[in-house]
């Protein structure tokens, strides 16, 4: 009898140890955040560590009200979360609840009002991997899409990327200084690191460079974890000309290469004239100089926007 009681006590200790291993999430943050924007869909994926504050996945501003479709997955690591749409008037609509059958699959239609609303996670002390795609809109019906609440000048009723700078305003070669053109406004906002030290940043608009170029370097005195945020967009100004391949790489002094953002036209089902990608992640940079390299941009009719921020 004592032997069985001893075994039972051991089992109880094991199970109690498993339950106490759950991570306590104090502050809401995205440990990873990656977004791709096209004229008729918006995809976001990453991992949310949700404390008491709602985790806003993205803001969007339809020019008119209508029906939208959200599909993808919410994979539970711990806790429970609801996926909700918050209207411009503050009305919350639950789109998916992880407690209902524990399904990872998200497949829902919902009505959104004209104006700035958001899709967000509601709940606390939870960790989820997510991969979600918003559809049901056209290029002309969406005034804004992004991971940060937009400033007023960014939501004038036309979608970022549709306004094209005049050719006379565009630089014909790469420059290390920001270009003072309307195209600069097309680089959208990234999630902000409020309590972090900014190590390096660059914001640039390019219209032509025939060779790959080093656009930013970061020198580390010792290996350390940093948070890197980047946004890259490309659009072909000439009609009916498909985008060429495009990439942004972090090349480290130890020989490691991290592909931060990449557009491969061969992987696209349709011929595109514009592409947009965002990246946010925590990575370890080794001691020495890490170079951020942009692939060649082919042709003066190609417009490329690039933004990089590195926080310690």
* C-beta atoms surrounding 275 within 10 Å: 23
Q: For residue 146, list its beta bridge partners.
A: 59
* C-beta atoms surrounding 94 within 10 Å: 13
Collapse the DSSP code of 16 into the 3-class scheme (helix H, G, I; strand E, B; otherwise coil) and give the result.
Answer: helix
What is the token pair recorded at 272?
């595109």
Strands 29-37 and 41-50: antiparallel
For the segment 99-115, what is each residue's pLDDT rounded down to a tens digit? 876 679 999 999 998 88
Query: pLDDT category, 29, cuts 50, 70, 90?
Result: confident
What is the token pair recorded at 269?
């089902």
For the segment 180-216, what is each residue's pLDDT rounded down to a tens digit? 223 333 334 444 545 578 888 877 777 777 888 888 8
DSSP-derived letter for residue 297 is: B
CA distance 312 to 249: 19
149-162 average pLDDT score: 43
pLDDT above 90 for 79: yes
Least confident of 46-50, 52-56, 218-222, 301-305: 301-305
Specify the pLDDT at position 194: 53
49 Rama sector, left if φ>0, alpha if ψ -120 to 50, beta otherwise: beta
Of residues 136 and 269, the one with the higher pLDDT is 136
Statement: the pTM of the whole predicted model exceeds 0.75: no
Of residues 124 and 306, the one with the higher pLDDT is 124
What is the token pair recorded at 296?
């060649």
Specify the pLDDT at position 166: 26
Of residues 13 and 39, the one with the higher pLDDT is 39
> Is the CB of residue 278 less than 8 Å from the CB of residue 260?
no
Specify the pLDDT at position 72: 96
Specify the pLDDT at position 296: 87
What is the token pair recorded at 249?
């790489």
> Is the CB of residue 183 less than 8 Å from the CB of residue 237?
no
Q: Looking at mean pLDDT, say which of 130-144, 145-159, 181-195 comes out highest.
A: 130-144
Specify the pLDDT at position 183: 32
Specify the pLDDT at position 93: 92
**Helix (H), strand (E) at residue 182:** none
Question: 199, 203, 200: which is closest to 189 by C-alpha?
Answer: 203
What is the residue-averaged pLDDT of the chain?
A: 76
What structural domains and CATH numbers belong to the chain?
29-154 (2.60.120.380), 167-311 (2.60.120)
> Is the CB of residue 274 less than 8 Å from the CB of residue 161?
yes
For the segment 225-247, what is each residue's pLDDT rounded down to a tens digit? 888 888 888 877 666 677 788 89
What is the token pair recorded at 9?
């006590």
Specify the pLDDT at position 89: 77
pLDDT above 90 for 16: no
User: What are the C-alpha distances in Å from 21 to residues 49, 81, 255, 272?
Assistant: 16, 19, 37, 47
DSSP-derived letter for residue 307 is: E
For the segment 264-299, what is each residue's pLDDT rounded down to a tens digit? 877 666 666 778 888 888 888 999 999 999 988 876
* C-beta atoms surrounding 32 within 10 Å: 14
Specify the pLDDT at position 85: 94
Specify the pLDDT at position 178: 26
Specify the pLDDT at position 177: 24
Of residues 89 and 136, the one with the higher pLDDT is 136
């Amino acid at each position: 009898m004592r032997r069985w009681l001893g075994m039972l006590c051991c089992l109880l200790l094991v199970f109690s140890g498993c339950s106490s291993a759950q991570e306590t999430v104090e502050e809401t943050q995205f440990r990873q955040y990656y977004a791709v924007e096209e004229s008729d869909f918006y995809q976001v994926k990453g991992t949310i560590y949700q404390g008491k504050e709602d985790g806003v996945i993205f803001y969007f501003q339809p020019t008119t009200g209508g029906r939208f479709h959200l599909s993808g997955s919410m994979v539970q690591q711990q806790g429970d979360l609801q996926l909700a749409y918050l209207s411009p008037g503050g009305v919350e609509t639950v789109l998916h609840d992880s407690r209902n059958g524990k399904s990872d699959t998200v497949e829902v239609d919902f009505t959104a009002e004209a104006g700035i609303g958001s899709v967000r996670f509601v709940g606390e002390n939870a960790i989820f991997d997510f991969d979600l795609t918003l559809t049901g809109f056209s290029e002309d019906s969406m005034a804004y899409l992004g991971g940060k609440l937009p400033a007023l000048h960014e939501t004038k009723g036309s979608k970022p990327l549709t306004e094209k700078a005049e050719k006379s305003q565009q630089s014909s070669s790469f420059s290390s200084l920001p270009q003072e053109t309307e195209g600069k406004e097309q680089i959208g906002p990234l999630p902000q690191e409020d309590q972090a030290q900014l190590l390096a940043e660059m914001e640039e608009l390019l219209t032509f460079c025939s060779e790959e170029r080093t656009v930013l370097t970061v020198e580390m005195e010792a290996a350390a974890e940093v948070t890197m945020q980047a946004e890259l967009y490309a659009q072909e100004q000439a009609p009916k000309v498909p985008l060429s391949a495009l990439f942004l790489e972090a090349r480290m002094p130890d020989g490691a290469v991290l592909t931060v953002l990449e557009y491969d036209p061969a992987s696209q089902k349709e011929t595109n004239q514009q592409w947009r990608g965002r990246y946010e992640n925590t990575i370890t940079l080794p001691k020495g100089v890490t170079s951020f390299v942009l692939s060649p941009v082919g042709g003066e009719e190609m417009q490329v926007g690039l933004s990089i921020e590195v926080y310690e």
